[in-house]
Every structure is written in C-alpha cells, then in structure tokens.
Amino acid sequence: MIPSESPLEIAAQIDALTASIEALQEESELVGIEAELLAGYLHRKGAKEEKTGGIDSDSSVQGKRLIGRGRGGASNASRKILSLQEKYDIAQEEMRVIQGEVAQANRQSDHNMDILKALMEETDISAAEVKRDAFEFRRDIVVGAENPRTGKTIAERVLRYFEDKLTQKDMLLSKLLMKNKAMRTSIRRTEAQLRDKEQAGDGLQYIDFHQLQIENQEFVRKIDEANKELISLKKNYTKVTNQVNLTKKRIGDLLSEETLLKQEIDGRKRLLSKAEQDILKVVSEREKARKENSKLRVQSRNSNSAGSGTGSDGPRFMECLTLKVEEQNLEQARKNLERKLEIAEEECKRLMRGIR
C-alpha cells in the first residue's frame, strides 16, 4: 500500500517546483542576454577579420563555444561554458561599442540642434529685416513721398528708394561673396593640411587638439565682436537714415515755403506797382485839379474886380466849392495810397529778410 502524502507536503513540493521554475526562467533570460551579446560580438569580430583576410585560431575557438549549461559530463560543460574573464571582456567590448554609438548619436543630435538653431536665428533675422523694410517703405514712400498738393506718390522718390535698396543688396552680396570665397580658401587650406598629415601618418596629438580649441575660441570671440560691431553699425545707419530723411523733409518744407513766399512777394510787387500807378494818377489828377482851381480863382477875382452884378457868380462859386471838395478828397486819397505804399514796402523788406 502506497503511503499517501499529506496536503502540506504536496504544497511544499509545489512551492519548491515553482521556485525552481522561476530560477530556471531567470537563468534562461540571463543566458539569452549573454547569447545576444556574444552573437553581436562574434558578428563584428567576424566582419573585422573578413576585412583583414582571415580568422585566427583563438577567435574560431571562441566562435564555436556555446553559452549555457551542459547536458553532458563535466568535460563537455567545461568546453561549452565561457569563463568569467571571457564574459567580462565581451561585455566590456559591447559596452564600448554601445558607448561609441551613443556618443555618435549625441554628436549627430548636437549637430542637428545647431543647424536648427541657425535656421531659427536666420528666420528671426529675416523677419526683423522684412519688418524694418516695411516700416522704412511706409515712412519713406507711402508717407514721405506723397505730394502735398496732388496727394499722389512722387515717382522719382520711389525709383530712388528702390535703387538705394538694390545698391545695398549688391554691396551685401559682394561682401558675402568675398567672405564665402575667403572661407572656401580657408577650408581648402585646412583640408590640404589634414591630407598632408594623414599621408605623413601623423594624427592630431592632444597638444594640437588643444591648440585648435584655443584658436576656435579665439575665432568665436572675434565673430561675436564682429556681430556686435555689425549690429552697432546697423543701429547707427538707421539713426543716420532717419536724420537724413528728417533733413530731406525739412528741406522740402523750406522749398515749399520759399515757393509760397516768392508767390506772395510777386503778388505784393504787383500790388505795389498798382499802388504806385494809382499814386501817380492821383498826383496827376491833383495837379490838374489845382490848376483848374487856380484858373477858377483867377476868373473869380477878375469877375469880382469888374463889379459885374450878373447872376452867374452863384454857379461859379458852387463850382469852385465843388472843385475844392474834390481836391481835398484827392489829397486824402493820395495820403492813403502813400500810407499803403509804405506798408507794402515794409512788408516786402521783411519778406526779403526772411528769405535770406
């Protein structure tokens, strides 16, 4: 009769089997990881040895080894299991390869990041230049080139504005071409130096690399200084351009004012000439009236001395009185015209002083 096992013993056996299975699974996962590392190592090793022309005996022996537990005797297990030192060497090699790949990926990411930053800076600069050009076009052409009398844009100023812009673009293009040519020359010279060093078998030593880093920092500093100077020159150019535009506007206003003053002076001269003619006319009429008055007085005295009692003295006296009143009116008109003439001459002198 087979003795029956108690439930506690069965549960203990199940727990033991479960723990054994979990240990085997962990060991299997570890063996799988080791197998992947060994496969990658052997693949790269084989690729390198194919390039060099063959595989040596040691690497062939390592390529034939298998990682895992041996199912045979102790001699078979010793032939199929790598030693701890070999596993350590393979892991170190794989770690160096992975670190190299990570470093290469980081360098590529940094390079891409630098390119994106440069593109963003270029986009910001282009946007700022477009805004500045739009502001200058509105200030110089839309507002500044408008004819105050007709309300239309002056074509000459528009053409001059675009000619100036094209000249600036040509100058900038020439500078960039010269800079590009100089950089290409520097690149060719550097490539030639590197090619000479590679042909001579001399790699860059630490001191050379350190020297290049120092030169690179110096060039970066010079570039930053040049950029700051360029920004300062652009600001000064903007200020000078604004001052020139204000001066041009002031000159235009002065020219318009000069034209108006000339027209006003011409009108005042015409009024002055007319006033002089009126004065001459009044003087002539006054002299004529004076002569007529004198003539009438002589006639009146002659008629009074003759003692004539005719009734014609009344009309003669009224005519003399009328002529006297006309003479007084003409004299007053002459004085008024002379006063107007003096005022016009003073105004003309004042305008001439203002023009000078």
Mean pLDDT score, 256-271:
85
Distance CA 181, CA 26 (A): 64
**313 contact partners, CB below 8 Å, separation of at least 6:** 303, 304
pLDDT at 17: 86
pLDDT greater than 70 at residue 354: no
Domain that holds residue 195: 153-203
pLDDT tens by residue, 151-210: 777 788 888 888 888 898 899 899 989 999 999 999 999 999 888 877 765 555 666 677
pLDDT at 207: 66
Domain count, the chain: 3
DSSP string, 302-317: HHHHTT---TTHHHHH
Mean pLDDT score, 218-225:
90
pLDDT at 189: 92
pLDDT greater than 60 at residue 22: yes
Assigned domain for 283 exists:
yes
Q: pLDDT confidence of 30, banded at 50, 70, 90?
A: confident
Place of tokens 């009236």: 289
Assigned domain for 158 exists:
yes
Distance CA 83, CA 38 (A): 13
| Rounded to 5°, angle at Cα 252 from 251 and 258 | 85
Assigned domain for 215 exists:
no
Burial 60-82 (b: 16+ CB within 10 A, else e): eebeeeebeeeeeeeeeeeebbb
Distances in Å between the alpha carbon of 307 and those of 293, 303, 321? 21, 7, 21
Q: What is the largest CA-CA distance in the chain?
A: 205
Instruction: Look up residue 148 and give its DSSP letter.
Output: T
Contact (Cβ atoms closer than 8 angstroms) between residue 65 and residue 80: yes
Assigned domain for 248 exists:
no
Assigned domain for 288 exists:
yes
Distance CA 161, CA 144 (A): 11
pLDDT at 70: 38
Assigned domain for 307 exists:
no
Picking from 170, 188, 203, the residue at the C-terminal end of a domain is 203
pLDDT at 314: 54
Distances in Å between the alpha carbon of 227 and those of 61, 222, 231, 348? 63, 9, 6, 58
pLDDT at 55: 42
pLDDT at 120: 93
pLDDT greater than 70 at residue 23: yes
Place of tokens 């006033």: 275
Assigned domain for 249 exists:
no
Contact (Cβ atoms closer than 8 angstroms) between residue 265 and residue 348: yes
Q: pLDDT confidence of 14, banded at 50, 70, 90?
A: confident
Picking from 82, 105, 132, the residue at the C-terminal end of a domain is 82
Side-chain-side CA neighbours of residue 104 (13 Å): 6
Assigned domain for 346 exists:
yes
Distances in Å between the alpha carbon of 277 and those of 290, 332, 338, 339? 20, 16, 11, 14
pLDDT tens by residue, 79-124: 457 778 888 888 888 888 889 889 999 999 999 999 999 899 989 9
pTM higher than 0.75: no
